[in-house]
Amino acid sequence: GQSLEQPSEVTAVEGAIVQINCTYQTSGFYGLSWYQQHDGGAPTFLSYNALDGLEETGRFSSFLSRSDSYGYLLLQELQMKDSASYFCAVKGSGSARQLTFGSGTQLTVLP
């Protein structure tokens, strides 16, 4: 089956940089995604990595190492509005072809 591990909580201060790690196990591999969810809101798509390396989108970057079954989400110049839950998700093949999510990392940004 599939499984993902990510820290349950991370706390940082405004303006800082934070890295949220995600390790995964899956049958086949078609990509690692990141979603952000504010309390009571819809999970929203942040990034998708199918190949190794770093993808940058504004203050957010996502990294993937397929050989290590590992990825991370990097948030720079943290703002209060970045306080939210962040989910990594992996898409595999066969019986694992649906997007499987981790348990989420609750990020708290302090002033």
Neighbouring CB atoms inside 10 A of 77's CB total 11
> Interface with other proteins includes 108 (CB under 8 A)?
no
Neighbouring CB atoms inside 10 A of 95's CB total 10
> Interface with other proteins includes 42 (CB under 8 A)?
yes
Distance, CA of 43 to CA of 101 (rounded, Å): 11
> Interface with other proteins includes 45 (CB under 8 A)?
yes
> Interface with other proteins includes 66 (CB under 8 A)?
no
| Minimal distance, residue 1 CB to other proteins, in Å | 11
| Minimal distance, residue 61 CB to other proteins, in Å | 18
In the set 102, 105, 107, 109, which binds other proteins (CB under 8 A)? 102
> Interface with other proteins includes 53 (CB under 8 A)?
no
Task: State the Rg of the chain over Cα.
Answer: 14
Cα dihedral value 58, 3, 8, 32, nearest 10: 0
Helix (H, G, I), strand (E, B) or coil at 95: helix
Binding site for other proteins (CB under 8 A): 4, 30-31, 33, 35, 40-45, 48, 87, 89, 91, 95, 97-104
